[in-house]
Every structure is written in structure tokens, then in C-alpha cells.
Chain A
């Protein structure tokens, strides 16, 4: 049975380490915050200028001046700090963030990622994604294994405009987990969802990888 969104987020959470500073993207990556192991200190960064993101506020305590990068109301922690967007991205670009978890439309076998636009169709923009993939130490992509049309998303070369070139370290899909030790290596299939076979993964993947 393929993993659902929560399973994928929980799998990504297993990559967290005590003391990590982490930036989570919008969508499934946000759910990683619900899966931080008990007793582990992980500080979440929000690129709009905050370290130490707390849970959603109690009803009646929402504050328009306190939102995450997805523009959702959040709360602060005793350890929270605030800073400007330029300080925030100095932190990101400067390699001070340990890990980021992002969604993607396509990942290529060489670690390229595309997640910001579909020419002629979707024109939302890249937000902070290009900065994150360029600056954060470890890049994890969480995405469905195939698109809504059933097309593979882990492919030989991206067809959409890139967000970053040769930057992805790990891919977690609803079917499997791929990892590579460095940016010169192929990805290796290291895990599959319960009941998912290597043949099924191979049948839904056009990228080259070590099986």
C-alpha cells in the first residue's frame, strides 16, 4: 500500500537530528513539523523572518503580524527570534540551515529540481525555493511518485524550468525513498512503502537509479 501524506511526512521526519535548524516548504513538508520525535530539539525557520515556529494559535489568539511563509497564522515559542527577510536569506544562503524539505513537480536523475512554474499556465513564482536549494546543507524532496496523469516525476531530465541544478539529496514519494551520498553519484533506491515492489517502482520511474 502506498504511503499517504502523513506517512511521507513521518518518513522525512526520520532525517531530523537533535539540534537541527530546518526550513519546511508548503504542503506535505509542513506536516513534518507534526512528526518531530519526542525529546528532540528541532528549530523551524520561516523564511519571512522567524526562527522557532510554534503550533497554530488557539482560536481567538490569531495575530495578523505572526504568519509563516505560507501566510498561515502561527504562534511563537519561548526561544523564538524575529529578523528581516535579508537576514533570513543570509541565514539560508550562508549555509546555516541544516535541512530543508520541499515539494517538487519534477526531479531529474542528476538531482535537478523543478517546482516553480509551468510555462503559459502557472505563474506563481519561485518564492524562496531557489535560495533554499542553493544554500541549505541537505535537500529532501517529498512528492507523489507520478503526476495526476500518471506520468513519472522522477525522470532523466526535467522538462519544466529548473529551481536548482544538481541540488537534491533525497527523494521521498508515496512509493519509495531514494538517496545519494554526494552530488556526483546516482540516487539509490533505499526503501519502499509496504507492499510496493521494486518492479512497480521501476515501472513508474524513468530516471536512472541504483536499485
Chain B
């Protein structure tokens, strides 16, 4: 089966509809599927629910879809660094479900693994627990959290082979791996596509079964949110 598409618009053809739910990988601007986000913006699909740890920054990443008002609801753990997000949220134009970061990761992992709900201690006694089932295990309180199953997952990888086996690079793996499992339609963009047999099977981070469509997104001009450096010691 041919998984490789010519570009992001072609890879998303027929997959987008108003009101759909999308899982998006990335942490801050690290490892975000930027080509696919651009194509979603260009398509104009709206009333989206997007599960993503962050919401980009103004004019970058998912910040682009906020600016065009294509997102109706975000499921996120941290949305600082985004003025337009704050404005829409405080004005009541954007719905936000704050979800603890680990709970969000596990909701996607569980959803993708056929587990509709799980109990966690995270959030017990906080707003996050309100309205959720509580259960005691071994004297400790836990709350029930639901798995997330999306209509579409968009992720960014480093290298893929032609069968969709994929590897990530350094901390750009983050949410891309669990998000890729949380739907039956995962589209991945990568920096390099190599022939089958070029990647060590023992070192695949995301088996090709999860990747339905694939594009080469390079060249990338990766953005850094906070550039920190240190001085070289004098020789």
C-alpha cells in the first residue's frame, strides 16, 4: 500500500470535516507537525476540537489555527506564551479543557490501546476531579479519566521508511508517539524518507501500522522558543 503523498494538502485530502477531533503531537514548538497545520489552515476546516499539550505561540504552530478561528475547543495542559489564545478564552470564544500533562498523554495512549478509561491519582482534590468518578484502591483515592480517540492524528517524525516505520529525534518525540496511536488515521510528516530496510528494526519508535499517510516535510526551519547558551571555557 502506498503511504507516501506528494505534500500535506494531498495527504489530508478527504480527511477533514467541520467539527472533527484532531490529536496533534509536539511540545511547545518542538516536534510540531507544521506542514500539516499549514495545510489544515489553508483548507479552512472549522469547529475543530484539538488535543495537543500546547496551543503553539502567536502565529506559530496551532497558533495559526487559533488566529483563523478554526479551533472551537482545545484539550491542553499548558497554553502560556499565546496572547491570542488568552484573548479568545477570556472572551468566551474558545472552549478549553485543561488536562494535566501526564493525564493527557495517558488518555491518548490508552485511547489508542483500546482502553476507554483508567484511574489516576493525578488531579484528586482539584478542579480536574470535579464530576469524575472516584474510586479507592489500597486506601488511596483515584479518579476515572477517559481515553481519547480522534478522527485524525497529525505528527512530526525525524525519519521514516517507505512502509511508515518511524523514528523521532531527541525531545521532539514527546507527544508525537502517543498521539500517533490515538486515531485510525494518522498522517505523519518527516524530515527524511528512506527505503525499506534502511532503519534498524530494533530501533523503530513508532511501527508503521500507526502511520497511514506520510509526507516529506523538509526543509524545516525549526523554531526555538527560548534560546539558552553557555560560554565556552577559555582554552
Contact = CB atoms under 8 A, between A and B. Distances in A.
Interface in B150-204: 158, 168-178
A74 B126 contact: no
Contacts of B123: 130, 134
B102 A73 contact: no
Given A65-B30, A72-B226, A82-B170, A125 B126 contact: no
Nearest to A60: B229
Given A65-B222, A76-B170, A163-B126, A127 B228 contact: no
Contact of A84 (B90, B105, B158): B105
Interface stretch (A42-50, A98-106, A171-179): A42-50
Contact of B224 (A67, A70, A90, A166): A67
Contact of B222 (A48, A50, A64): A64
A53 B77 CA distance: 22
B109 interface: yes
Contacts of A67: 27-28, 30, 171, 224-226
Nearest to A91: B102
Contact of A58 (B53, B90, B125, B229): B229
A15 to B, nearest CB: 23
A1 interface: no
Interface string B26-55: 011111000000000000000000000100
Contact of B174 (A49, A59, A166): A49
Given A86-B177, A93-B121, A50 B101 contact: no
Nearest to A165: B125
B30 to A, nearest CB: 5
Interface residues of A, number: 53
B79 interface: yes
A58 B122 CA distance: 37
A76 to B, nearest CB: 7
A162 interface: yes
A123 interface: yes
B101 A47 contact: yes
A48 B27 contact: yes
A123 B225 CA distance: 19
A30 to B, nearest CB: 10
B128 A84 contact: no
Interface in A135-168: 135, 161-166
A163 B104 CA distance: 16
B170 A93 contact: no
Contacts of B126: 130, 161-165
A209 B127 CA distance: 27
A56 B230 contact: yes
Interface in A40-97: 46-50, 55-59, 61-68, 70-74, 76, 82-86, 88-90, 92-93
B148 to A, nearest CB: 12
B229 A56 contact: yes
Contacts of A166: 125
B16 interface: no
A138 to B, nearest CB: 16
B78 interface: yes
Interface in B91-128: 96, 98, 100-106, 108-109, 120-128
Given A49-B171, A58-B230, A58-B232, A126 B222 contact: no
Nearest to A67: B30
B210 to A, nearest CB: 12
B18 interface: no
Interface of B: 27-31, 53, 76-81, 86, 89-90, 96, 98, 100-106, 108-109, 120-128, 158, 168-178, 205, 222-232
12 contacts: A57-B230, A62-B227, A65-B158, A67-B28, A71-B28, A71-B29, A82-B171, A86-B108, A125-B76, A127-B101, A128-B77, A134-B120
Interface of A: 46-50, 55-59, 61-68, 70-74, 76, 82-86, 88-90, 92-93, 112, 120, 123-131, 134-135, 161-166
